[in-house]
């Protein structure tokens, strides 16, 4: 019996009630019922982002929202800082170059977090820099960059701060307005427990001002057009109706649970999983700011991280993720965000133990599970 | 009892079995199971488009695919013909201008089809024109443009022909390779009977060649990147897994029914509906090349087309579409594509009769239904 379990950092499992909410007969995207759903989704997003800003919805993967934050803010030739401490950070450079902008690359060793002082120095050195692009949670390394502090160093400059929170939003608290985040991006398939297909962008006053002078081409991802139309609860183009119905259901779930409880549970799962890995004698790949959304673990000496991933997938139908690019083979990554319970987490730990044993690693079988159980029991 | 019926030209109803196929637990977008699904979807698309070309899949509305056909073919300053005989034709001009290209607007009176000779004359007059952009079925007027003939006039020029077949593909035969169509675009939410969220682009050799010199910025919609990755059954970014599962189910349905049978049924529904409107004394808005995919009908003298649409929506929960822009108030539009049966069509006719009677139009009640029944009975 192959019972699939998703423990990779996205797509995460979708609650069965939400799958059924999306299996309802379609409604028309220009009907008053759908306008009503659109309005409720907009309100739900504002609560989740903790903002009074407009939060736009796009039908795309998270990368579409990232692209929109280049195309709608900058003009060809503009300079912007790309904080690169992992694979997703590198995407900023690719995006900036695709639009003829100048990427000021701030390279951070994989597994470490950016130092806000380094960003401040770059901004001071070159006041023509128009934007700072960063991941809240760099999914490839499991590191959370210090977003609150980055907002402090960008606040009094001419640059806007753009935060990719695709993996972070809903996993831990990122209060847009309290921290003064100019642009926050997210997606449907991680902590929001939905299938992939929706991307979000909250746009603050400083970003709105910069948008007015942007000369990069944009159409499908045009903020100006969507601000106008979504402001009256209409997508400019055909909205993915079923995903909106799913998102409405997810917002009901979040309302029932309470955002703070969700954050607390995510943190406990993360703490239990990290304790389990320590009990097995394994080190985290994230040397600082290890995120609660997911954990990146170094494979033991002599064992290929991809073999751990492959063992879980092929023998148990459990999906975790391997390393990407320079981390390939060195690590494996396990998610704690979204619709993943403490017992899913224990199952993952148990499967990792069985895989490691099968691959010849020596340790006390069950030690990881016991360490995690202890933390879950205390919580 | 409010039993919703969708008869608008997209989103169309989704078969219940397909809704349930999409309600299955999520699978991981990098799993071998999903690569297998991706491969089957690619094969299904080739059969549907009748092409050996690669057919790319994007997570977006149809407009995203339209944008990709500007951004990946042209460079700023390039000239291209925008065939504008309705609202969607006008979108080409907006897209071309967004990318700094020069739109050569070929305006066609709404309700009429473009004359291939006019396109040929423009191309002869200015051989620097690099592309011709057209809708197969202009959804706002119900007119099918003569795609086969347009391919003949573009074939021996330096220009590629880009066909937006979002409303057309799957409603009637548009054989990409037989007609020599350089680029054909489509979407999930019309004849393909799926929720909105997937867009498609088939790319022929002449377009591939032009792509190599294109300098417009692109990233999320980059053909080159997707050709490379989708060529090995992987989306560059996170694929909308559930819609792929739905599309696989739709391809099974199409295989069971046979494409030719689907085209024949669509044609019969169209014929029956058009006969019904004639029996009620109403005229088509499409003065030539009236499409089989949907019918645009002129509202009777003194009756606002929007009132017919509103009557059906508010009293019967039946969704048809009104006119857009210059046709607003003058017409209403009813779809025949996708998962709409002959009895759905009769229900629509019946509802339109009841609305017209309620709005004061004089005619023999039941005459439309009877005319359609006769055609369904003979078929």
Chain B contact set for A220 (CB, 8 A): 60-61, 63-64, 67, 221
B187, B197, B238: residue with CB nearest A243: B197
Using the 8-state DSSP alphabet, how is residue B302 labeled?
T
d(CA A267, CA A150): 23
Element (H, E) at A73: none
In B, minimum Cα distance to A75 occurs at B217
Chain B 67-126, residues with CB within 8 Å of chain A CB atoms: 67, 71, 94-95, 98-100
Annotate A230-274 with DSSP letters as a single string: HTTT--SS---HHHHHHHHHHHHHHHHH-HHHHHHHHHHHHHHHH
Chain B contact set for A63 (CB, 8 A): 219-220, 237-238
- Produce one character per residue of A115-151: b if its CB has 16 or more CB atoms within 10 Å, e if not: bbeebbebbeeeeebbbbbbbbbbbbbbbbbbbebbb
> Where do we find the tokens 């981390």?
A327
Chain B 13-32, residues with CB within 8 Å of chain A CB atoms: 13-14, 16, 19-20, 22-31
Chain B contact set for A38 (CB, 8 A): none
> Where do we find the tokens 């003058």?
B330
Q: How many CB atoms lie within 10 A of CB B347?
A: 18
Judge whether residue B188 has pLDDT over 90: yes
Asked if A22 lies within 8 A of B95 by C-beta distance, the reply is no
pLDDT at B1: 72
Q: Smallest Cα–Cα separation from B239: which of A7, A60, A139, A22?
A: A60
Q: Smallest Cα–Cα separation from A114: which of A156, A63, A75, A154?
A: A154
A26, A99, A216: residue with CB nearest B14: A26
A30 is in an annotated binding site: no
In B, minimum Cα distance to A97 occurs at B217
Using the 8-state DSSP alphabet, how is residue B157 labeled?
S
Average pLDDT over residues B183-211: 97
Query: Residue B327 phi/psi, 5° resolution?
Result: -95, 0
Query: Residue B248 phi/psi, 5° resolution?
Result: -60, -40
d(CA B22, CA B166): 22
Name the 3-class secondary structure at A20.
helix
**Cα–Cα separations (whole angstroms), residue B87 to B81, B111, B132, B193, B247:** 16, 11, 17, 23, 28
B264 Cβ contact partners less than 8 Å away, ≥ 6 residues apart: none
Judge whether residue B116 has pLDDT over 90: yes
Chain A 227-246, residues with CB within 8 Å of chain B CB atoms: 237-243
User: What are the E-state strand segments in A239-356?
Assistant: 294-298, 318-319, 321-322, 331-335
Q: Smallest Cα–Cα separation from A198: which of A136, A231, A244, A135?
A: A244
Asked if B14 lies within 8 A of A24 by C-beta distance, the reply is no
Asked if A59 lies within 8 A of B62 by C-beta distance, the reply is no
d(CA A236, CA A230): 7
B28, B59, B61: residue with CB nearest A61: B59
pLDDT at B10: 86
Percent of chain B past pLDDT 90, that is, above it, reads 97
Mean pLDDT by 10 residues, chain A (379 residues): 89 96 92 94 98 98 98 98 98 98 98 98 98 98 98 98 97 98 97 97 98 98 98 95 97 97 98 98 98 98 98 96 97 97 98 98 98 97
Using the 8-state DSSP alphabet, how is residue B159 labeled?
P
Name the 3-class secondary structure at A56.
strand
Whether B143 and B289 have beta carbons less than 8 Å apart is answered as yes
DSSP β-bridge partners for residue B200: B57, B186
pLDDT at A30: 87
**Cα–Cα separations (whole angstroms), residue A341 to A48, A140, A165, A249:** 21, 22, 22, 19
Q: How many CB atoms lie within 10 A of CB B149?
A: 17
Task: Calculate how close chain B gets to A342, using CA atoms only, in Å.
Answer: 19
Asked if B216 lies within 8 A of A217 by C-beta distance, the reply is yes
The predicted-structure confidence for B251-285, as pLDDT tens digits, reads as follows 999 999 999 999 999 999 999 999 999 999 999 99
Picking from A14, A66, A217 by the largest number of B CB atoms within 10 A of its own CB, the best residue to mutate is A217
- Write the burial class of residue B1 (CB in 10 Å: 0-12 exposed, 13-18 middle, 19+ buried): exposed
Asked if B217 lies within 8 A of A219 by C-beta distance, the reply is no
- What value does the mean pLDDT of chain B take? 97
Task: Calculate how close chain B gets to A7, using CA atoms only, in Å.
Answer: 9
Average pLDDT over residues B354-360: 98
DSSP β-bridge partners for residue A58: A199
Judge whether residue B3 has pLDDT over 90: no
Q: What are chain A's domains?
A: 17-255 (3.40.640.10), 258-378 (3.90.1150.10)
Q: How many CB pairs under 8 A join A and B?
A: 165
A30, A241, A321: residue with CB nearest B195: A241
Chain A contact set for B99 (CB, 8 A): 217, 219
In B, minimum Cα distance to A98 occurs at B217
Could you report how far apart the first and last alpha carbons of chain B are, in Å? Answer: 32
ipTM score: 0.95
The predicted-structure confidence for B126-160, as pLDDT tens digits, reads as follows 999 999 999 999 999 999 999 999 999 999 999 99
Chain B 279-318, residues with CB within 8 Å of chain A CB atoms: 313
Chain B contact set for A25 (CB, 8 A): 4, 13-14, 16, 19
Asked if A25 lies within 8 A of B10 by C-beta distance, the reply is no
């Amino acid at each position: 019996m192959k019972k699939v379990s998703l423990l990779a950092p996205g797509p995460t499992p979708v609650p069965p009630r939400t799958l059924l909410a999306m299996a309802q007969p379609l409604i028309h995207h220009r009907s008053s019922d759908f306008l009503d759903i659109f309005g409720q989704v907009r309100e739900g997003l504002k609560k989740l982002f903790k903002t009074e800003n407009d939060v736009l919805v796009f039908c795309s993967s998270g990368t579409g929202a990232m692209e929109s934050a280049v195309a709608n803010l900058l003009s060809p030739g503009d300079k912007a800082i790309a904080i690169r401490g992992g694979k997703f950070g590198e995407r900023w450079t690719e995006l900036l170059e695709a639009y003829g902008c100048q990427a000021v690359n701030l390279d951070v060793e994989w597994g470490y977090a950016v130092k806000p002082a380094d960003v401040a120095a770059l901004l001071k050195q070159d006041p023509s820099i128009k934007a700072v692009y960063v991941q809240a949670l760099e999914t490839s390394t499991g590191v959370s960059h210090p977003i609150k502090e980055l907002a402090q160093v960008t606040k009094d400059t001419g640059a806007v701060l753009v935060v990719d929170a695709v993996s972070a939003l809903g996993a831990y608290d990122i209060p847009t307005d309290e921290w003064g985040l100019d642009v926050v991006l997210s997606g449907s398939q991680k902590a929001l427990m939905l299938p992939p297909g929706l991307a979000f962008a909250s746009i603050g006053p400083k970003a709105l001002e910069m948008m007015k002078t942007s000369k990069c081409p944009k159409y499908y991802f045009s903020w100006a057009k969507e601000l106008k139309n979504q402001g009256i609860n209409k997508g400019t183009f055909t909205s993915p109706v079923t995903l909106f119905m799913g998102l409405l259901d997810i917002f009901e779930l979040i309302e029932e649970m309470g955002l703070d409880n969700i954050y607390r549970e995510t943190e406990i799962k993360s703490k239990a999983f990290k304790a389990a890995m320590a009990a097995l004698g394994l080190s985290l790949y994230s040397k600082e700011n290890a995120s609660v959304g997911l954990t990146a673990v170094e494979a033991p000496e002599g064992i290929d991280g991809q073999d751990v991933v492959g063992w879980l997938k092929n023998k148990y139908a459990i999906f975790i993720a391997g390393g990407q690019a320079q981390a390939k083979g060195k690590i494996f990554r396990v998610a704690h965000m979204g619709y993943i319970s403490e017992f899913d987490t224990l199952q993952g730990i148990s499967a990792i133990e069985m895989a490691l044993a099968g691959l010849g690693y020596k340790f006390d079988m069950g030690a990881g599970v016991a360490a995690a159980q202890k933390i879950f029991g205390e919580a």
